[in-house]
Amino acid sequence: MPTLADVAREAGVSKATASRALMRPDMVAAPTLERVRSAAERLDFQPNRAARALTTGRTGMIGLIVPTLANPFFAPLVLGAQRAAEETDSLLLLTVSEYDARREAALADRIADQVDGLVMVAPVGTDRALRERARHRPLVLVDRKVGRLPSVVLDTAQGTSELVAHLLELGHREIAYVSGPPGSWADARRRDAMRAQTEAAGARLHVLGPLPPTFDAGIEAVGALPEGVTAAVAYNSYLALGLLHGLEAAGIKVPGEMSIAAADDLTTLAATTPSVTALGVPVEEAGRLAVVRLLEICAGPRRTVADRLPTAVHPRDSTAPPRRP
Amino acid sequence: MPTLADVAREAGVSKATASRALMRPDMVAAPTLERVRSAAERLDFQPNRAARALTTGRTGMIGLIVPTLANPFFAPLVLGAQRAAEETDSLLLLTVSEYDARREAALADRIADQVDGLVMVAPVGTDRALRERARHRPLVLVDRKVGRLPSVVLDTAQGTSELVAHLLELGHREIAYVSGPPGSWADARRRDAMRAQTEAAGARLHVLGPLPPTFDAGIEAVGALPEGVTAAVAYNSYLALGLLHGLEAAGIKVPGEMSIAAADDLTTLAATTPSVTALGVPVEEAGRLAVVRLLEICAGPRRTVADRLPTAVHPRDSTAPPRRP
DNA sequence: CTGAAAGCGCTAACAC
DNA sequence: GTGTTAGCGCTTTCAG
């Protein structure tokens, strides 16, 4: 491994100049710059990150904590974050908290001093813990808001109320919300938004749950759908798939006897029979933006940013007017 | 942030002794050890990893490259790897190659000098590139073998031939293999194993593909199933789900007219109608073991290890005897 | 615009 | 067993 000293010698300059040429090209005369660059090229010089980190205090790594990878929902999030990191020559340190606040805290502590900042998808866990963490390192929250902490939220609250509007328009008046994990920040927002929307229309929202956001839970939820309900919105795709399956097993026609919709949109939803009406969510963009914001914060003064990403209703075959009694 | 010097002063010893006490407790007298430990505790001392990396040449990080996260198949792999890393106080640097050999190479180059070693899930890409990479850094391959490079393989070749045995036993004689991504190492192994198994039994294997391992490709594959075939094994769960859906749409009964099985086992396969016979694969264990092996290699002499993890057929409702003509 | 020199925090020889 | 010393490779004052 060639070092900066090698490059400097090869270019016939001092280490300081070599360093400047590579880091701050505008601080160096054009011909010198060229010499250093070509020397670095020739030697295939890769700066030693540890050494750089030691002097600058910046590691060039950013931490990303997600609750799980078992749900493909997070795949584009990670991808978006990785792409954004690549563009600035940063690296992603990824950890999975498994929806466990204690584990999340332990992991965050463990990596905090190795990264320049942290992007966290932390649906559960206390505001306090997140606030505290933000005091030490730059922190960007995804799909959650805590006070004035920087955040990127997928506006599924707005989205679910559009989903409800879609159902109301079809004529539904008794709508169920099959809600997600207990304590989920986004879940509570959606519930509130849907409630407001239904009540304003003189309709009724029946909340089931909280439920684990799984296929199986969706199946079981079918038994708990209140009498008279003609449409159900599920917290996520898995619950919706479970509903679909459970309804089929129970001999209840979709959308004839029951309309269903999901508040996110895994690709399989478009391919089921019937295809499932869902909320398109810019997940990759959220990952990308979170990293961009984090790097802004690392660079400049700690501005407060709160981005809100719009979602879009994808109407499909699982929603239709209720059967007239 | 307190440094080792602070700890040393607080404990009334030299930096060297403090360092030894923390790193090699057995090289230090018991009372000294105690003093240093309590000093470190009191100050909440966290060693600076960059500094340590600079002197030791070891970063305490290991790289993990996976082709995608959109397939939940890889979730337990990452989790297993992360758990193993945690246990040795290492950190995981995760990157996603998106099944793109060029991207994979670029990412590997980028992180190579930041990690002590690399675990790669590299189903595509050339042997040569992997061999070359292994010359620079310790490398453990997952689900692929290249010469004598250390590897952890999920023995789905053996597994698929057991799947075929299961089908043969049911009476099938014309079996299709709906194969996976072009150039996939594991796919080729499975194909060979299944071919051998069918031919030995005087039956026939019809290979479809290569195909992208997706739900949609599975649907389309239905149209390509040769006349006379009564059972199909799919490269993965998505293809199998696609088959199931496509067959249903085509009015072909499963398992009455066509048996299907998958060569991996996402949880949804157990919950479809009918549930799908599949190959249980110890994915989390593979992730764990790969990291363990990597750390062994980093520590000791570069031994050649090749682990082969057994899989298990999970018979479900999608396989049954063929309809007698 | 460039060079010399200091030092980031830690570990590893090498003495004592 | 413990302390002293010398760097690891880089960035950054500070002079020139």
pLDDT tens per residue, range B185-229: 999 999 999 999 999 999 999 999 899 999 889 999 999 999 999
Residue A125's Cα: distance from chain center in Å? 16
- Given pLDDT bands bounded at 50, 70 and 90, which one contains residue B270? confident
Q: Is B136 part of any domain?
A: yes
Amino acid at B55: T
Nucleotides of D under 7 A from a protein CB: 1-13
Query: How far is residue B105's CA from residue B144's CA, in Å, rounded to a whole number?
Result: 16
CATH number at residue A106: 3.40.50.2300
A232 touches chain B (CB under 8 A): no
What pLDDT is attached to residue A79? 95
Res. B325: pLDDT tops 60: no
Contacts of B93 in chain A (CB under 8 A): 61, 91-94
A254 touches chain B (CB under 8 A): no
Q: Is A51 part of any domain?
A: no
What pLDDT is attached to residue A187? 95
Residue of B nearest to A80 (CA): B96
What pLDDT is attached to residue B324? 65
Res. B303: pLDDT tops 80: no
- Domain boundaries, position B87: 61-154+283-311
B249 touches chain A (CB under 8 A): yes
- Given pLDDT bands bounded at 50, 70 and 90, which one contains residue B272? confident
Of A51, A91, A95, the CB nearest to B54: A51
Say which nucleotide is closest to residue B52, CA to C1' distance.
C10
What pLDDT is attached to residue A299? 86
Of B1, B50, B95, the CB nearest to A54: B50
Please tell me whether residues A161 and A107 are part of one structural domain.
no
B79 touches chain A (CB under 8 A): yes
pLDDT (average), residues B168-188: 94
**Whether B151 CB is under 7 Å from strand C:** no
Please tell me whether residues B164 and B226 are part of one structural domain.
yes
Q: Is A55 part of any domain?
A: no
CA B30 / C1′ D2 distance in Å: 13
> 282-321 in A: which are within 8 Å (CB) of B?
none
Please tell me whether residues A149 and A289 are part of one structural domain.
yes
Q: Which of A144, A128, A61 is nearest to A95 (CA)?
A: A61
Query: Do the chains contact at A94 and B91, CB–CB below 8 Å?
Result: no
A79 touches chain B (CB under 8 A): yes
pTM over 0.85: yes
CB atoms within 10 A of CB B42: 12
Please tell me whether residues B182 and B238 are part of one structural domain.
yes
Please tell me whether residues A150 and A192 are part of one structural domain.
no
Please tell me whether residues A267 and A218 are part of one structural domain.
yes
What pLDDT is attached to residue B201? 93
Using DSSP bridges, classify how beta strands B91-96 and B117-120 pair: parallel, antiparallel or unpaired.
unpaired
Q: Is B51 part of any domain?
A: no
Query: Do the chains contact at A91 and B93, CB–CB below 8 Å?
Result: yes
Residue of A nearest to B114 (CA): A49
Res. B254: pLDDT tops 60: yes
CA A2 / C1′ C2 distance in Å: 22
Please tell me whether residues A226 and A246 are part of one structural domain.
yes
> 6-45 in A: which are within 8 Å (CB) of B?
none
What pLDDT tens digit does each residue of chain A (325 aa) get? 899 999 999 999 999 999 999 999 999 999 999 999 999 999 999 999 999 999 999 999 999 999 999 999 999 999 999 999 999 999 999 999 999 999 999 999 999 989 999 999 998 889 999 999 998 899 999 999 999 999 999 999 999 999 999 999 999 999 999 999 998 899 999 999 999 999 999 999 999 989 999 988 999 999 999 999 999 999 999 999 999 989 998 999 999 999 999 999 998 888 888 999 999 999 999 999 999 999 999 987 767 789 999 999 999 999 999 986 5
CA A17 / C1′ D14 distance in Å: 15
In angstroms, what CA-CA distances link B145 with A201, B39, B139? 62, 49, 12
What pLDDT is attached to residue B305? 84
Contacts of A76 in chain B (CB under 8 A): 70
What pLDDT is attached to residue A189? 94
CA A307 / C1′ C3 distance in Å: 47
Say which nucleotide is closest to residue A20, CA to C1' distance.
D11
Q: Is A40 part of any domain?
A: no
3-state DSSP of chain A: CCCHHHHHHHHCCCHHHHHHHHHCHHHCCHHHHHHHHHHHHHHCCCCCHHHHHHHHCCCCEEEEEECCCCCCCHHHHHHHHHHHHHHCCCEEEEEECCCCHHHHHHHHHHHHCCCCEEEECCCCCCHHHHHHHHHHCCEEEECCCCCCCCEEEECHHHHHHHHHHHHHHHCCCEEEEECCCCCCHHHHHHHHHHHHHHHHCCCEEEEECCCCCCHHHHHHHHHHCCCCCCEEEECCHHHHHHHHHHHHHCCCCCCCCCEEEECCCCHHHHCCCCCCEEEECCHHHHHHHHHHHHHHHHHCCCCCCEEEECCEEECCCCCCCCCCC
Q: Is B88 part of any domain?
A: yes
Q: Which of B118, B140, B135, B117 is nearest to B58 (CA)?
A: B117
**Whether A59 CB is under 7 Å from strand C:** no
Please tell me whether residues A147 and A288 are part of one structural domain.
yes
Q: In what order do the strands lie in the sheet with A117-120?
A: A306-309, A151-154, A139-142, A117-120, A61-66, A91-96, B91-96, B61-66, B117-120, B139-142, B151-154, B306-309
Structure token pair of residue A252: 């209840």
Q: Which of B263, B300, B256 is nearest to B281 (CA)?
A: B263
Mutate to test the interface with A, among B114, B121, B216, B241 (most CBs of A within 10 A): B114
Contacts of B249 in chain A (CB under 8 A): 273
Mutate to test the interface with A, among B49, B62, B288 (most CBs of A within 10 A): B49
Please tell me whether residues B186 and B276 are part of one structural domain.
yes
Say which nucleotide is closest to residue A2, CA to C1' distance.
D9
Query: How far is residue B233's CA from residue B211's CA, in Å, rounded to a whole number?
Result: 13
Q: Which residue is nearest to nucleotide C2 (CA to C1')?
A: A17
Q: Which of B302, B295, B292 is nearest to B136 (CA)?
A: B302
Please tell me whether residues B233 and B148 are part of one structural domain.
no
> 145-174 in A: which are within 8 Å (CB) of B?
none
Contacts of A71 in chain B (CB under 8 A): 72
Res. B1: pLDDT tops 70: yes
B247 touches chain A (CB under 8 A): no
Residue of A nearest to B73 (CA): A70
**CA-only gyration radius of chain A, Å:** 25
Contacts of B75 in chain A (CB under 8 A): 68-70
Please tell me whether residues B256 and B161 are part of one structural domain.
yes
Q: Is B319 part of any domain?
A: no
B91 touches chain A (CB under 8 A): yes
Phi, psi of B29 (to 5 degrees): -65, 145
Please tell me whether residues A160 and A275 are part of one structural domain.
yes
Number of domains in chain A: 3
Q: Is B41 part of any domain?
A: no
Query: How far is residue B279's CA from residue A32's CA, in Å, rounded to a whole number?
Result: 62
A56 touches chain B (CB under 8 A): no
Query: How far is residue B322's CA from residue B257's CA, in Å, rounded to a whole number?
Result: 7
